[in-house]
Structure 1
Amino acid sequence: MFGIFETKRQRRNRIRSQPFPDHWGEILSREVPLYQRLSKEDRQELQGLIQIFLAEKHFEGCGGLTLTDAIRVTIAAQACVLLLHRETDLYPRLITILVYPSAYVARAREPIGGGLVLEGEVARLGEAWKDGVVVLAWDDVRSGALDIHDGHNVVLHEFAHQLDQENGPADGAPILEHRSRYISWARVLGDEYEQLRKDAASGRLSVLDQYGATNPAEFFAVATECYFEKSEELRRTHPELFEELKAYYRFDPTQMTTLD
């Protein structure tokens, strides 16, 4: 038995030191092609992060969904890709992941100006709540994991929101390593956000999904999806944005191996 004075670091080291289950590795190979593109060292790091994530976060099936290891591991792997190479506390504000079998209906409130608010029900694929909950639709999670080049990945998107919310409400500015970096971050992401708004308004296509023009928080989440899934195109068309995200994530997706 382990003493009551075991620290978080000691507990996590103990969890990480345990053998990675073979069937979890099979799930990663089958459901998360991104995993196979990582270096051996990065795969080992990711496995440790997955072990800690699954030990600390609570999963709950909704809408009749029966949770399986495939669901948990597939979600954990994609969430933890955002943590590779970084000193983080593994989403400290996150408590629960709610998983629906497919798109679910949620209540929504949207300001429409003049002090008026539009209320209604909308279909959603995912949400990141500020009180420690992420909601995901499993069929979209799975399809997003299997297609690593379409720029759409609901797990990367919602967990980017989680990173954004670690220092308060989501505003498109996560915790950066040095205070001086906020100046560059605000300039580059602010300019790119405004450009995407103009592109969306005029119907011009961009490698960045137009949903990122909604607000700065959505821009950061969309840019994260694009960074990991359309990295070469993002580097070519938005080099400053690419470099800001590279400095933040400390991981360069353009250096991953190519799948046969």
Structure 2
Amino acid sequence: MALTVLMLLGLAVVAFLVGQPLWRSHRRWRLRQQPFPLAWRRILRRRVPQVARLPADLQLRLKGLMQVFLAEKAFIGCGGLVVTDEMRVTVAAQACLPLLGHTRGYYPKLTQVLLYPGAFVVNRPFNAPGGVVQDQRRALLGESWGEGQVILSWADVVHGAAVPDDGRNVVVHEFAHQLDQVKGVANGAPWMPVRRDREHWAAVMGQAYAELRQTLARGEVPALLDPYGATDPAEFFAVASEVFFEQGAALQAQHPPLYRALATYYGCDSAAWL
């Protein structure tokens, strides 16, 4: 009798583990099929002009991605900010741009998006002279945590969306970090299942990163990539992702190997978007 009960419990656990992904996939499919709310369309027209630059099929796909994202991710206001649908939709539209080619599980580690009214202050340890570790207060526009949170400044979310072709977008930046953090610590090398792809990525990104650092070392101002990308490989990937989604044609012209690597990873041709 006890053995039978254990077998039944085991079968139930197996059925749950097998059925959960199928149930989640079906639920997401149903969310994508729902009509996109008219109020959300108006928000996109007012707040996220980049959506109108996308081909019609990608606009439709983006809206479906947003419906899943908004159903699954919690938004929390911080610093006295009261989160509205306008905020949620504006963030979601930009956060889903990196998913247009490959959904990659809709940021599987992410559970919450925290919004501050503006730049927020954090304490970060740094190595002071003499080997002493001290806390340093820094004002940030955004931050991505591998534990399941993205933190954003609403004022900078608005600015990033309003100017869709300046290569600066805090939402894309932080959600690129989320993709990088799926495998663990962000290091500028998001997970790729094929070894040859990982090796090619490392070669291309390493070369582009080195070139940016060399440009800055000569005292020159980079023509396209933000100098912040020279901080480390993780920041370089996030900065390059901003440029890829906002200035694809310029990136393709000035850094062809870098553009091709990002286009392959993201599964879309942003240089063709007008």
TM-superposed deviation, 1:19 = 1.2
2:92 corresponds to 1:76: yes
What is the CA distance between 1:230 and its match in structure 2? 1.9
Runs of 5+ consecutive residues of structure 1 not aligned to the other structure: none
Give me the whole-angstrom Cα distance separating, in 2, the residues matched to 1:240 and 1:38.
23
Q: How far apart, CA to CA, are the structure 1 residues paired with 2:130 and 2:239?
A: 29
Residues 205-216 of structure 1 aligned to structure 2 (within 5 Å): 205-206=221-222, 207-216=224-233
Quote the offset at 1:146 in angstroms: 0.8
Looking at structure 1, the residues matched to 128 and 273 of structure 2 have their Cα atoms a distance apart, in angstroms, of 44
Q: CA deviation at 1:39?
A: 1.4
Corresponding residue of 1:228:
245
CA change 1:18–1:224 in 2 (3 A) is same
- Cα deviation for residue 232 of structure 1 reads 1.9
- Please list, as runs of the form range in 1=range in 2, the aligned pairs for 1:184-203 lying within 5 A after superposition: 184-203=200-219
Structure 1 position 104, deviation (Å) = 1.1
Q: Tell me the matched-pair count.
A: 255
1:204 corresponds, among 205, 220, 244, to 220
- The alpha-carbon distance between structure 1 residues 18 and 159, as it changes in their structure 2 partners (threshold 3 A), is same
Aligned to 2:14: none
Q: Structure 1 residue 85: deviation in Å?
A: 2.0
Residue 138 (structure 1) shift: 0.3
| 1:2-39 Cα deviation digits (max 9, x unpaired) | x9997110111121121110010111111111100111
In structure 2, give the amino acid aligned to 1:35.
Answer: V
The corresponding residue for 1:51 is 67
1:26-65 aligned at under 5 Å gives the runs 26-65=42-81
Please report how far the alpha carbon of residue 110 of structure 1 lies from its aligned counterpart in structure 2 after TM superposition. Answer: 2.6
TM-score by length of 2: 0.89
Corresponding residue number in structure 2 for 1:21: 37
Partner in structure 2 of residue 248 of structure 1: 265
Q: Supply the AA of the counterpart residue of 2:163.
A: D
Shift of 1:251: 1.1
Distance 1:185 1:26 in 2: 39
TM-score of the two chains, using structure 1 as the length reference:
0.93
RMSD after superposition:
1.7
Cα distance change, pair 98–151 in 1 and its aligned pair in 2 (3 A)? same
Check 1:215–1:182 CA distance in 2 against 1; reply closer, same or farther (3 A cut). Answer: same
Aligned mates of 2:101, 2:177 — CA distance in 1: 19
Percent of aligned pairs sharing the same letter: 48
Distance 1:16 1:26, change over 3 A: same
Offset at 1:148? 1.1
Secondary structure of 2:107's match? Answer: coil
Question: SS of the counterpart of 2:188?
Answer: coil
Q: Distance in 2 between matches of 1:54 and 1:89?
A: 14
Following superposition, the deviation at residue 140 of structure 1 comes to 0.4
Give, as a single letter, the amino acid of the residue that structure 2 aligns with 1:195: E
AA aligned opposite 2:29: N
State which structure, 1 or 2, has the greater radius of gyration over its C-alpha atoms: 2
Shift in Å at residue 114 of structure 1? 6.7
User: How far did residue 202 of structure 1 move?
Assistant: 2.2
Which structure's residues are more often helix, by fraction? 2
Q: Distance in 1 between matches of 2:197 and 2:21?
A: 37
> Which runs of structure 2 are paired with 1:29-178 in the superposition (5 Å)?
29-111=45-127, 115-178=131-194
Q: Structure 1 residues 198 and 116, CA, compared in 2 at 3 Å: closer, same or farther?
A: farther
User: Cα deviation per residue 1:145-196 (whole Å; 9 max; x = unaligned)?
Assistant: 0101211110000000000001110000012252210111101101111111
* Residues 146 and 182 in structure 2, CA contact (< 8 A), matched pair in contact too: no
Q: Structure 1: how far apart are the matches of 2:217 and 2:206?
A: 17
Give the drift of 1:197: 1.3
